[in-house]
Structure formats: C-alpha cells, structure tokens
Chains A and B, each alone.
Chain A
C-alpha cells in the first residue's frame, strides 16, 4: 500500500526566505509525482508534475526534485512571498493503481510580510 508523508506539517517563514518542503512515499513504482497548491476554500492547483524518469522540474520560483529510488521529493520555493501562503500537497500516481493519486496530508505554509 502506498503511503505519502509530508514534512513539516506546518511552516512559517519571513518573506524573502528560500524554503524546502519534503515529501516521501513508500512504493517507488510510480508513474509520476505532482505538487499541488490548495488555498482555503478552494480547489487544488497543479504546480509541477515530475515523471518517474525525470529528476526535477522547474517553474518560475519553484523547483521540484524526485529521487524515486529513495522515495523522496522536495519542493523548493525561492524568495518566498506572502502570496505563497497556502497548503502544499504532493501526490503520487502508482503504476499499479491506474489513474488514481495518493496524496500526502500537506504542508501548511505561511509567509509573513
């Protein structure tokens, strides 16, 4: 059974700081891993998708890495801004589970001005 764990559960940083969110998963047989952002009362926005054959993906100030063999992914946010405050979720798509995603419980990020 795939389990996805995110550390830390909550993080509060001052504006401008670089930060790293961590995600680990127990079953390395995955198709891909996605990082999402969830704002209160809203849906999920896909930030980055890393295929199992890739090591990292970048979009603007965001960089996500994937180490499939060790079951780890990190989301790096550079020069954080108050608008980055949200809950960040990672989700894996397993090879044996069709299209379903298994989510971690998220990291709640607060960036203080």
Chain B
C-alpha cells in the first residue's frame, strides 16, 4: 500500500517558466491538500481538493497558481511564470475521512522547487 507519492522530488526552473507538481494520494483517499514550506518557515496551507472539486483555495496566491484533482490521475499544482520567491518545498497530503475529528493527514516527501 504505497503512501502519498509526489514527483518530481526536485524541480529546477528558470524565471518565467512553468512548474507542474504532481501528487498521487494514498490508495482509497479522495481528499488532497497542498502545503508550501518556504525556507526557514513553517508549512502553510495552500489548497484543499476533492476529486474534480476545489473545496478551499484560501491559501493559494490569486495569480499564477492553480490546482486540480481530476477524476482520473494525480492532483496537479501548477505555477505559471515562476519567480525566485516561489522556491520552496511543496508538500501534498491526503486523507480518507475529513469530516472525522480523528482524521489524520498522510504527507508525501515533497517537491523541492528551485527557481534560478
């Protein structure tokens, strides 16, 4: 039973390019969360998705960032026209029963994005 899978592990982009980060949740999980960890800072919530729906995107920057979780395939976090300030570790997490007070999130190993 594989855990949350993120790829790539490391992604290098030049300013102005696009970055696509992928996340496959744990088997049986249909709820995906994206968090960003900037250098020397804690994890910050970005977006919460269910299959084909964005539930909460209150932590996502209004411009250049988008996320999707299609019916088939992984969740994608897309950053257009990247800037140096986007350099960070991006973590994906998944859960099975978000309405339960006993809900646990399971995290992937993250994608380290470096913008040159």
Contact = CB atoms under 8 A, between A and B. Distances in A.
Interface in B22-48: 31, 33, 35, 41-45, 48
A43 B56 contact: no
Given A44-B91, A100-B33, A52 B101 contact: yes
A68 to B, nearest CB: 13
Nearest to B44: A103
Q: How large is the interface on B (under 10, 10 to 19, 20 to 34, 35 or more residues)?
A: 20 to 34
Interface of B: 4, 6, 31, 33, 35, 41-45, 48, 55-56, 58-59, 91, 93, 95, 98, 101-110, 112
21 contacts: A32-B103, A34-B104, A34-B105, A41-B112, A43-B108, A43-B110, A44-B107, A46-B105, A46-B106, A52-B101, A91-B43, A98-B55, A98-B98, A99-B33, A99-B55, A99-B56, A101-B45, A101-B105, A103-B35, A103-B43, A106-B42
